[in-house]
Structure 1
Amino acid sequence: MRVLVLSDTHGLLRPEVLTLAGEADAVLHAGDVGKPGVLEALRVVTPGPVHAVRGNVDRTPPLSALPETLLAELEGVWVYLLHDRNDLDLEPGAAGVRVVISGHTHAPRMEERGGVLFLNPGSVGPRRFRLPVACAWLHLEGGGVRAEPVTLEP
């Protein structure tokens, strides 16, 4: 299973992201969606489910109704989705979570600690500072997990 992991679109949905979403089995968006049309467009092109959590800029309906966190089982792997990793409200390893996905910082980061993959895909929204425009693929197969960073040309 190939899962496209996004964050911090801030209302901007790049054509390259739509192309990637069309190749994904599912999409996970770690918040700061910005405009409802972003999720609507992703749902049109993605063959599988599109899951999203609320970020700090998602303050008005319908985005304010998004959950703060989401726990999903994908291909037998538990994935926990939230916007700001500082708000992590569980011990992932003890909860059986294999992947924690967050956004907020706009900086891509990937690290494995205690058997848990912590993944921040970066931001595919408006470019900030000198940070790359980035997202990630999450490959799930047979209980295995592999993340693949993707940098888009701004």
Structure 2
Amino acid sequence: MKKILLLSDTHSFIDEKILKFVKQADEVWHAGDIGNLEVTDTLKKLKPLRAVFGNIDGADARSEFPLDAKFEVEKVTVWMTHIGGYPNKYYKRIRDKIKLNPPKIFISGHSHILKVQYDKKLNLLHLNPGAAGNHGFHKVRTMLRFELDNSEIKNMEIIELDKRG
């Protein structure tokens, strides 16, 4: 079993409220718009990190992290990208590829809108953790926490940190 903390859109911001949950996880996944790499460096010092770069990320993040991360944890296939859309409205770069080989979990960030939605057509779970940083139009900073256990996704939790700013 693995306890996963999923966050996105930190935009160079990290604080003790985020780190409290990082310390409780087995792995941390960051769905892009990292901002300053001090964010991911801090996360990597505490837990294994999987991350993708987002549209605001510069050459340093783009050289360290991929556009798409495809991996398997506890027999659960995952595809994480920053701009991916959501069921019935996948981004055009994703649309055909996801139909050919859908993962069990598809993760995107970018919108700053927390969303957990099951795609019945592709038989996958779409996750967007919202935004954990202070930059953007979201009102509350959010993340997701869940467990992967022998091909099952369990104990999905929304984490509301506090109001932005």
TM-score above 0.5, yes or no? yes
Contact (CA 8 Å) 1:107, 1:131: kept in 2 or not? no
What is the deviation of 1:129? 2.9
Contact (CA 8 Å) 2:118, 2:126: kept in 1 or not? yes
Matched, 1:149 2:158: yes
1:1-154 equivalence runs, <5 A: 1-46=2-47, 49-61=48-60, 63-65=61-63, 66-85=65-84, 86=91, 87-88=93-94, 90-91=97-98, 94-114=100-120, 115-146=123-154, 147-154=156-163
- 1:60 Cα deviation (Å)? 2.6
The size of the alignment, in residue pairs, is: 150
Question: In structure 2, do the counterparts of structure 1 residues 30 and 10 end up closer, same or farther at CA, with 3 Å as the change threshold?
Answer: same
CA shift, 1:142, in A, is 2.2
Shift of 1:96: 4.8
The answer (yes or no) to whether the contact 2:113–2:138 under 8 Å persists in 1 is no
With normalisation by structure 1, the TM-score equals 0.90
The one-letter code of the counterpart of 1:15 is E
In structure 1, give the amino acid aligned to 2:73.
L
| Local SS of the residue matching 1:12 | coil
Provide the C-alpha distance between the structure 1 equivalents of 2:77 and 2:13, rounded to a whole number of angstroms: 29
Q: CA RMSD in A?
A: 1.5
Higher strand share: 2
Shift in CA distance, 73/126, structure 1 to aligned 2, threshold 3 Å: same
CA contact (8 A) 2:10 2:133 kept: yes
The whole-number CA distance in structure 2 between the counterparts of 1:124 and 1:111 is 19
Identity %: 29
Quote the Cα distance in structure 2 between the aligned partners of 1:2 and 1:14.
20
Separation of aligned partners in 1, 2:133 and 2:106: 21
Contact preservation (8 Å) 2:112, 2:137: no
Post-superposition CA distance 1:55-113 (Å, at most 9, x none): 0011232x121200001111110011000112425225x42510011100011011001
Rounded to whole Å, the distance in 1 between the matches of 2:139 and 2:149 is 31
Q: Which runs of 5+ in 1 are unaligned?
A: none
Q: 1:152 to 1:127 in 2, by over 3 A?
A: farther
- Structure 1 runs, 4 residues or longer, greater than 4 Å off: none
